[in-house]
A = this chain, B = another copy of it.
């Protein structure tokens, strides 16, 4: 363990990058082996099958997301600010490396052809984000910090859909700034202070 990351972590990180680029069927153990610098067979030692690998990846992805949200909630109370930070996180990811894309958004588009174990984890991720955003919308509505035009749950789903769709557009146009441009009016609309 001379490195900061274990081999298993390096494998997961490589798989994440590869999935963000081409989805579940868009990468192979050989690709990972090339990046990490070990042999294909060694990957099977850490993750017996591809399903194991991707299931673990998505599971950790959700756990990291849950931890990140928990930490965020401790520092930031304002619901509108939380939504802006959430959108800003993705804006930054997309602009930095131009490639990044929410692993789960990408996998969700392949859902019908995904191994069941992986599909279940992807659905769990969607439920997690949806639940969190709904709670933010509810608080915002109660506190008057957000101006909702429909029920919190629907507003949360619409917001998440905007984020995912904007990612897609940014990728399609090869224009990272498109993400922020699409999200801006959505956030504006949710802001309470503006008097028309």
Residues of chain A touching chain B, judged by Cβ–Cβ distance below 8 Å, are: 21-26, 99, 101, 105-106, 108-114, 122-123, 126, 149-150, 154-155, 157-158, 160-166, 168-169, 171-174, 178, 181-182, 184-186, 188-189
Contact = CB atoms under 8 A, between A and B. Distances in A.
Contacts of A174: 123
B161 A23 contact: no
Given A25-B23, A165-B161, A185 B101 contact: no
27 contacts: A21-B112, A22-B110, A22-B114, A23-B25, A23-B26, A23-B110, A24-B26, A25-B26, A99-B112, A106-B109, A106-B110, A108-B168, A108-B169, A108-B171, A108-B172, A111-B172, A112-B171, A126-B172, A149-B188, A149-B189, A154-B184, A157-B166, A158-B166, A161-B162, A164-B164, A164-B168, A165-B165
Contacts of A185: 149-150, 154-155, 158
A22 B112 contact: yes
A165 B165 CA distance: 4
